[in-house]
């Protein structure tokens, strides 16, 4: 991260340079800084984010629920806060047989 030498505000990367959104000061981005930067794709509300990388760990709790994809009656489940804190969490399910993932709202 780089801060503006003029006003101290955090600068944003735009068109190959850092630009201060407050005073407009610009500085070129060095090769080292480019190598350290990476793009982040933002999720849409309908995207399902699974944080763990290894699906075979078996550490999530299970529940008897019918998979809408294959009809199997056992799935792992977890909760995620996707919206603002004053709204309820969303329950996610993943079938233990076909690994289909779906969600359920309150």
Give the residue numbers marked as catalytic: 86-87
Torsion sign across C-alpha atoms 38, 41, 42, 48:
negative
Residue 28 backbone zone (phi > 0: left; psi -120 to 50: alpha; other: beta): beta
81/103 Cα distance (integer angstroms): 12
- Reduce the DSSP state of residue 40 to 3 states and report it: coil
Which CA distances in Å does 78 have to 30, 54, 63, 86, 99? 42, 15, 10, 19, 14
């Amino acid at each position: 991260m780089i801060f503006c030498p003029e006003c101290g505000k955090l600068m944003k990367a735009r068109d190959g340079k850092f630009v201060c959104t407050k005073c407009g000061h610009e500085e070129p981005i060095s090769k080292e800084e480019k190598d350290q930067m990476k793009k982040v794709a933002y999720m849409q509300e309908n995207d399902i984010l699974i944080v763990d990388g290894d699906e075979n760990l078996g550490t999530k709790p299970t529940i008897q629920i019918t998979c809408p994809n294959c009809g199997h009656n056992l799935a792992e489940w977890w909760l995620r806060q996707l919206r603002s804190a004053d709204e309820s969490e969303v329950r996610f399910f993943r079938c233990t047989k076909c690994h289909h993932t779906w969600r359920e709202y309150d």
